[in-house]
């Protein structure tokens, strides 16, 4: 891996260009119609470093562990996420996360850490398990339901309970779920290019963000008036201070709560659904996972944190579902200065892209890459240990801080579901929904269930 920020002083070629496209528009239409297909074609036809143009902006797709390392290790002064993720500003809010310089953003992100540290993680398993039990109390002995809708609602509740506290969880209503859904569905590919277009998805997003701010402010104000102090993330944010001693505003608290929810829920709902779907598609793997779950339950019916850590094969199934169906299929950085990678000049102003969905399909990195094979994470293979190969949670200093919580959450849900019920897929074959930036199963996505004897 070669990276040289003095590239401007050398005569280097530009990365090879993807063929096709239109005059002036370049590959804009391809990007909007089928972003994943465009990236797959770029990697296949051009190679590890591939250039194309979208709405007058040069983009370079980097594919493979060697160039992934250059992408993830580059300092923010060279490759900057904030410039590329301005589309998240309307979601998190002005002055929150990506709407800051690097130092301010890292200050805010580090405020998330107390909710994701080991001491609190140990308490989350039982909370999640109780939420699952409560959700299953209405299922009965048999039936049929949409696994995606169920998983998204459940992970919304579990994430809020674990990360934001019991009080906030009890405040949640159907309105909260609806508002959060509209906010989440406002993240669409066109937002990378222009996040403020007057389209229905963005109008719903903006209304949802405004209403969410009102709801959070009401909870914060009630807590302040009552003088109640709780051991939860909301309290942590209310007490957090910047280096200059200033406190977070209610607007910033709302934005950080949304960021925390995205870390805990944004990917977990669809990954829970994909994990169950893939196990049902592969009965032998399902049997191995269920045997492991039943053995753990036999030793510890309460499913405590130490027992959850024993669910290795279950965790491998979750990681394999994440590899085949990475919820976030595109990661971006904006080049703030010229630099070199693998002998090519990446000019200032270029957007660099890494795509987990393309990266995880490389047969030279993952054996039979398109096959669901949880054993690839077992010794001696451990294919996810290859540096910068498995990037479902990103990499480098901006790697998702919620990855351990997400895995714990999905493992707990899968253990409860598979211990209580038998499942089978129902209806048409399940495909991927590429309409948003979070790649979940296309609806309807129904499963039949029957209580185990």
pLDDT tens track for 260-298: 776 666 678 899 999 999 999 999 999 999 999 999 999
Report strand pairing: 446-451 vs 142-146: antiparallel
At 46, list the tokens: 């051009």
Rounded Cα–Cα distance for residues 326 and 216 (Å)? 30
Domain ranges, ordered by start, for the chain: 111-324+396-453
Q: What's residue 288's pLDDT?
A: 98
Q: What's residue 9's pLDDT?
A: 46
State mean pLDDT over 135-142.
95
Model confidence at 129, pLDDT cuts 50, 70, 90, reads very high
Order of strands, sheet of 339-341, starting from the edge strand that comes earlier in the sequence:
3-4, 339-341, 344-346
Lowest mean pLDDT among 97-111, 302-316, 417-431: 97-111
Rounded Cα–Cα distance for residues 239 and 115 (Å)? 14
Q: Would you say 414 and 374 are in contact if contact means Cβ atoms under 8 Å apart? A: no
Model confidence at 109, pLDDT cuts 50, 70, 90, reads confident
pLDDT in tens, 340-369: 999 999 999 999 999 999 999 999 999 999
Share above pLDDT 90 across residues of the chain, in percent, rounded to a whole number: 49
State mean pLDDT over 222-234.
78
Q: What's residue 231's pLDDT?
A: 66
Q: Give the CATH fold of the 111-324+396-453 domain.
A: Cytochrome p450 (1.10.630)
For residue 107, how many other CB atoms are within 10 A of its CB? 15
**Which residues lie below 8 Å from residue 197, measured CB to CB, with a gap of 6+?**
190
Candidates 171, 162, 155; CA nearest to 232 is 162
**Which residues lie below 8 Å from residue 222, measured CB to CB, with a gap of 6+?**
none
Among the residues of 99-141, which ranges form H helices? 102-110, 118-136
Q: Is 252 exposed, middle or buried (0-12, 13-18, 19+ CB in 10 A)?
A: buried
Q: Which residue has the higher pLDDT, 145 or 3?
A: 145
Q: Would you say 61 and 353 are in contact if contact means Cβ atoms under 8 Å apart? A: yes
State mean pLDDT over 61-85.
91
Lowest mean pLDDT among 176-180, 240-244, 294-298: 176-180
Residue 426, CB-side half-sphere exposure with 13 Å CA sphere: 13
Whole-number average pLDDT of the chain: 88
Q: What's residue 125's pLDDT?
A: 85
Is pLDDT above 60 for 5?
Answer: no
């Amino acid at each position: 891996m070669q990276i040289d920020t003095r590239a401007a002083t050398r005569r280097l070629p530009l990365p090879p260009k993807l063929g096709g496209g239109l005059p002036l528009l370049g590959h804009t239409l391809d990007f909007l119609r089928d972003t994943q297909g465009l990236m797959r074609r770029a990697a296949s036809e051009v190679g590890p470093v591939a250039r194309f143009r979208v709405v007058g902006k040069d983009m370079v797709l980097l594919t493979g562990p060697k160039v992934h390392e250059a992408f993830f290790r580059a300092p923010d002064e060279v490759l900057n996420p904030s410039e590329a993720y301005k589309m998240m500003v309307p979601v998190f809010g002005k002055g929150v996360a990506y709407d800051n310089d690097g130092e301010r953003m890292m200050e805010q992100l580090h405020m998330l850490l107390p909710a994701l540290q080991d001491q609190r993680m140990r308490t989350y398993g039982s909370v999640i398990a109780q939420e699952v039990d409560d959700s299953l109390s209405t299922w009965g002995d048999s039936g049929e339901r949409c696994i995606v809708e169920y998983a998204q609602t459940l992970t919304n509740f579990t994430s809020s309970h674990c990360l934001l506290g019991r009080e906030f969880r009890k405040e949640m209503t159907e309105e909260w779920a609806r508002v959060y859904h509209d906010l989440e569905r406002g993240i669409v590919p066109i937002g990378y290019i222009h996040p403020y277009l007057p389209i229905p998805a963005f109008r719903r997003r903006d209304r949802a963000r405004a209403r969410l701010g009102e709801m959070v402010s009401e909870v914060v104000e009630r807590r302040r008036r009552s003088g109640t102090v709780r051991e939860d993330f909301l309290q942590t944010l209310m007490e957090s201070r910047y280096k200059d001693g200033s406190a977070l505003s209610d607007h910033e608290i709302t934005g950080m709560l949304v960021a925390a929810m995205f870390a805990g829920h944004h990917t977990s709902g669809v990954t829970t659904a994909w994990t169950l779907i893939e196990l049902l598609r592969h009965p032998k793997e399902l049997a191995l996972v269920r045997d492991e779950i039943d053995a753990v339950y036999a030793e510890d019916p309460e499913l405590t944190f130490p027992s959850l850590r024993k669910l290795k094969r279950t965790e491998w199934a979750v990681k394999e579902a994440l590899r085949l169906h990475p919820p976030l299929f595109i990661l971006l950085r904006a080049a703030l200065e010229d630099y070199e990678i693998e002998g090519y000049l990446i000019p200032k102003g270029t957007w660099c892209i890494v795509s987990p969905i393309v990266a995880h399909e490389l047969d030279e990195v993952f054996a039979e890459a398109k096959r669901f094979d949880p054993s690839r994470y077992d010794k001696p293979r451990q294919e996810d240990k290859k540096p910068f190969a498995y990037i479902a949670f990103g990499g480098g200093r901006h790697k998702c801080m919620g990855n351990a919580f997400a895995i714990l959450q999905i493992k707990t849900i899968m253990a409860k579901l598979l211990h209580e019920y038998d499942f089978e897929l129902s209806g048409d074959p399940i495909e991927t929904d590429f309409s948003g930036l979070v790649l979940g199963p296309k609806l309807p996505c129904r499963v039949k269930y029957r209580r185990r004897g």
